[in-house]
Amino acid sequence: MNLCLMVFVSMWGESVLIYIIMVFLFFMKSAEYSMSSVSGFIEMDCISWVLVMLSIWVIVLSIMSSMMIKNKGKFGGVFMSLNVLLLFFLMGSFVFSDYLMFYVSFECCLIPILLIILGWGYQPERAQAGIYLLFYTLFGSLPLFFFIMYINNSYGSGYMYIDLMLEGKLLVCVMMLLGFLVKFPMYGVHLWLLKAHVEAPVAGSMILAGVLLKLGGYGILRFIPLLFGQESIFLWLGCFSLWGGLLMSLICLRQMDMKLLIASSSVVHMSMCIMGLLVFSEWGVKGCVMMMLAHGICSSGLFCLANIVYERTSSRSMLLSKGLLNLMPTLSMFWFLLVMGNMAAPPSINLLSELILIVSLISWSSKVIAVLGLMSFFSAAYSLFLYSLSQHGWFMLSKSSLKITGLTEYLVLFLHWMPLNVLILVGWSMI
């Protein structure tokens, strides 16, 4: 065991290279709309392909952002092993076509991310954050386990893509949906996310925002056919989520903690995704997939930026870290580019995903125009608030000895920004 860990520590760069090779090998597989079977219980379509690619990409960048762990000798081998294990469970969640196998992978993703938070978090309160993460997600998804057992007993099969008649079984459908809404998370069951982000190391925050939240959206996407016939009931749930997103966008305007603001903005974006899924339209599904991809890349980059600032100022407060434009102008450029992506400015794929979701929601009901307009306005407001408060103003004299930003950090930031703006070309072909 010790020999394996020593190999992982000495091969940190080689491990990243292997991940990158996996990206290119996986990219060679065509992303087909129709389901393609790989084996008896592994099937993939365009959505699975996109989310597996996102998982590999974000985990590669999170490892590159965590070089401090290797340089300071903080159990780098264990850290790398947990990332490999997490990627294995994530890929399993996105490709398994059996309900039970999906659920096992879905829940096992909690173990590595919990250990990453507890092992490499910054504050003693990380134990409390771990408890929040564990209990919210486990108890939220417990009804989902009972639902899967019910399906297996009633229909004799756990195959995900067979037609099941659940019309009139409202309680069963609510049980199924609850586990995914907690993982998304929906407003009202989102407190675990804020706690986890604040206490997590940079890799934990990047993976949590970039990939793990997408498990909830993917689960709803796969289970949506079971909800047909009960749309009116679940639309009320979607409306509550949309209203919660508007409230969270107002809360973002009052945040002074960088990580808390970025984490709260995740709830805003995901609330629009939930509503897009629950209107049961093709455009809503496509917009949701694009939004998950765009948010996964953009939020991961913002957490990486927040960590770069934290490593130099030892503070996440925007009041104490302001004036960075004078000290690190190149880094400030990346702040501007990623913040523009977060507020859905062109030419980022965030813009295309928001437009598709807004069109799908307005086509369902014109009554949501006011809420969507306010959400878009406040999203732009808190994004500009984040940039202007952290980059402008008078900097403290004690910051004059800050170390310069390394080449690896610029590479990581560029690898966040580049796909965010190039993927809009691919997004047009999905419409």
What is the per-residue pLDDT across 83-139, written as a single tens digit (0 to 9) for each? 989 998 998 999 888 888 999 999 999 999 999 999 998 888 899 999 999 999 988
- pLDDT tier for residue 18 given thresholds of 50, 70 and 90: low
Distances from the Cα of 378 to the Cα of 11, 81, 250, 375, 385, angstroms: 45, 40, 7, 5, 10
165 domain residue, yes or no: yes
117 assigned to some structural domain: yes
Strands (E), 11-158: 36-37, 43-44
Run of H or E residues at 93: helix 76-95
Q: In angstroms, rounded to a whole number, what is the distance separating the alpha carbons of residues 244 and 227?
A: 22
What is the reported pLDDT for 337?
95
User: What global pTM score does this model have?
Assistant: 0.92
Query: For the chain, what's the residue count?
Result: 431
Residue after which a domain boundary falls, among 169, 200, 229: 229
Is the predicted pLDDT of residue 1 greater than 70, yes or no? no
One domain, residues 111 and 135: yes
Clarify whether residues 188 and 265 are in a common domain. no
- Tell me which H or E stretch contains 414: helix 407-430
Structure tokens at 400: 């004059």
Query: Same structural domain for residues 173 and 286?
Result: no
More confident position, 170 or 112: 112
Residue 261 resides in a domain: yes
Both 173 and 274 in one domain: the answer is no
- 349: nearest Cα among 282, 429, 244: 429
Tokens of 71: 């340089």
Residue 351 CB neighbours (<10 A): 20
Residue 383 lies in a domain: yes
Given this model, what pLDDT does residue 6 score?
A: 41
Range of the domain at 320: 240-431
DSSP assignments along 67-79, one per residue: HHHHHTTS-HHHH
Same domain, 140 and 258: no
> In terms of domains, do 174 and 111 share one?
yes
The pLDDT, as a whole number, for residue 314 is 82
Q: In the structure encoding, which two tokens stand for residue 148, read together?
A: 């899967």
The residue out of 199, 229, 259 marking a domain boundary is 229
Q: Are residues 221 and 252 in the same domain?
A: no
**Cα atoms in the Cβ-side hemisphere of radius 13 Å centred on 326:** 13
- The answer to whether residues 60 and 90 touch, using CB atoms and an 8 Å cutoff, is no
Same domain (yes/no): 356, 213: no
**Mean per-residue pLDDT, 1-6:** 42
Does residue 2 sit within a domain?
no
Does a structural domain hold residue 5?
A: no
**β-bridge partners, 317:** 257
Q: Is the pLDDT of residue 294 over 80?
A: yes
User: Could you give the 3-state DSSP secondary structure of residue 42?
Assistant: strand
Among candidate residues 229, 259, 288, the one where a domain is terminated: 229
Q: How many domains does the chain have?
A: 2
Nearest-CA neighbor of 198 among 60, 306, 276, 68? 306
Give yes or no for residue 195 having a pLDDT over 80: yes
Choose between 52 and 162: higher pLDDT. 52
